[in-house]
Structure 1
Amino acid sequence: MLAPVPRPPGSLAVRCSRALLSPRSRLSALALLLLTAASLVVLYEPQRLLASGWPPQTSGAGAVLLFGLAYGVCTAAFVPRPVLNLAAGALFGSAFGLTAAVAGTVLGAGISFTLGRFLGQDALRPLLRGRWLTAADGQLSRHGFRSMLAIRLFPGVPFAAANYCAAVSRMGYVPFLLATALGSVPNTAAYVVAGAQAGTPGSPAFLFSAGFIVLSGLGGAVVAWRKRHGLRAPVPAPEREPEPEPVGGVR
């Protein structure tokens, strides 16, 4: 009887590490992490900051920095950005509130992008089939900055969904973060100013920001409806070229 071939030392550890680092395992870890974050949001409701106010022991630039960090973590955990933008304006005013909100937006987008890129990209890219998914992946991969800038300016696209779609594509970090910073300013500023002027709802600044929010939302709904209608249109089948005539006329 042949003696069993001894396994090299550390082979079990290598197999375990490969299993833990496999695309499916990382995707499962991402799903568990996102589910935990969503559950914590439902249980603890961090958006109550808008009603309860900021802790009195924090003020000045330190408070703005702390709020920006908390904003980023909360958006990565699916807290709605409009609520946090209103809170930023109510707590810090228009200028400092906008600074904290935009910084928190970029931070939250970076957190989501990093999680999606390292935990979900390898497992999800092979699943990108179909006309819509293929077109979206190609647009984000080839024209990352321009596409993400348009997405951020468009108020109807969910923030978290855009982050993870970009992470699954081949878009780079720099175009993603730069487009997020620039494209999120208009709508973020409108909510921050509305929060800062909430005590005087008849002021021109509040009316202008509220009108901008309403008009941008209606414009986003119209664009989304037109895009959806266009995607439903049947795609014409490509014309087939005639087959070459066989030699001697025999098929």
Structure 2
Amino acid sequence: MVKAVLLVVALAVFTVAALLLPLPPLEEIRGLVAEAGWWGPVGFGLGYAAPTLAPLPKNVLSIGAGVLFGFGPGLLVVYLAAMVGASAAFWLGRALGREAVERFTGTRGAKAEDVLDRHGFVAVVGVRLVPVLPFTAINYSAGLTSLGWWPYFLGTLIGIVPGTASYLALGAYGFDSGARAELALAVLGVLTLAGVALAARARRRSTTTDV
């Protein structure tokens, strides 16, 4: 829930800044990025993958990729960077061990570990579909489970598509009024509501079990 609130605040700040600050035209921004050649997407990809190892907001970076590169190229950059970061955190979590990971992720990691251990690939796809769930904690916690890397990798590969594409579309088309930006907002709304519903359901189950 806290992450959802922070995400809404970040999106609001991003929107207000885009409306109030004297930003150059979108075509001019993308032209400057294009002049950087391969260094542009490579640098952005590295800058995206690194925060994946820490509990920092990455969805705003996805929106930024849509603004800078457009939908197609931006999606490719973010998709590859997210997979590199998620894979690195998985193996790092496995190497560091439970004590270090739990000190880093707290109770969120323990809950994620339990779900992933019991439901494997299906759980990975499920938690990745919801953009408000703690991406970094899930990465590290998955490394502590009996889940193999391939189910984790494939589940992440599939599960992050809707949320990532929606944030990219929001950045790529959000400056223009039209169905594509509205569709991106609608998908994000549905995924966020699904995340809130899943969190509430998990909390009720936890309370029932404790009683």
Contact 1:154-1:220 within 8 A present in 2 as well: yes
Tell me which of 170, 176, 179 is aligned to 2:146. 170
Which of residues 176, 188, 208 is equivalent to 1:213? 188
Q: Are residues 123 and 183 of structure 1, via their aligned partners in 2, closer, same or farther at CA, if it must alter by over 3 Å? A: same
Does residue 58 in structure 1 map to residue 36 in structure 2? yes
The structure having more radius of gyration, on CA atoms, is: 1
Partner of 1:47: none
Select which of 128, 148, 167 maps to 2:124: 148
The alignment's TM-score, normalised by the length of structure 1, stands at 0.62
CA RMSD of aligned residues (A): 2.9
Equivalent residue of 2:143, what SS? Answer: helix
**Gapped runs of 5+ residues in structure 2?**
1-17, 103-108
Which structure shows the higher helix fraction?
Answer: 2
User: Match of 2:49?
Assistant: 72
- Distance in 1 (alpha carbons) for counterparts of 2:54 and 2:203: 28
Unaligned runs of 5+ residues in structure 1 are 1-49, 126-131, 237-251
Partner Cα distance (1:139, 1:210) in 2: 28
With CA pairs under 8 Å and 6+ residues apart, which has the higher RCO, 1 or 2? 2
Among residues 175, 180, 199, which one is paired with 1:199 in the alignment? 175
Identical counterparts, % of pairs: 32
- Which of 199, 204, 207 does residue 224 from structure 1 map onto? 199
Provide the C-alpha distance between the structure 2 equivalents of 1:228 and 1:122, rounded to a whole number of angstroms: 24
> 1:182 maps to what in 2?
158
Quote the Cα distance in structure 2 between the aligned partners of 1:165 and 1:182. 19
- Report the number of matched residues: 179
Counterpart contact for 1:121–1:169, Cα < 8 Å: no
CA distance in 1, matches of 2:118, 2:199: 22
Instruction: Please give the residue correspondences for 1:53-132 in structure 2 after superposition, counting only pairs within 5 Å.
Output: 56=33, 57-59=35-37, 61-121=38-98
Distance 2:79 2:99 in 1: 30
CA contact 1:156–1:224 (8 Å) conserved in 2: no
In the superposition, the TM-score normalised over structure 2's length comes to 0.73
Contact 2:112 2:138 in 1 (8 A): no
Q: Is the 8 A contact 1:98 1:189 kept in 2?
A: yes
Runs of 4+ displaced beyond 4 Å: 50-57, 122-125, 135-139
Q: SS at 1:79's partner residue? A: coil
After superposition, what is the alpha-carbon deviation per residue over 1:197-218, rounded to whole angstroms, capped at 9, x for unaligned? 1221x21111110122122212
Task: Report the 3-state secondary structure (helix = DSSP H, G, I; strand = E; otherwise coil) of the residue aligned with 1:168.
Answer: coil
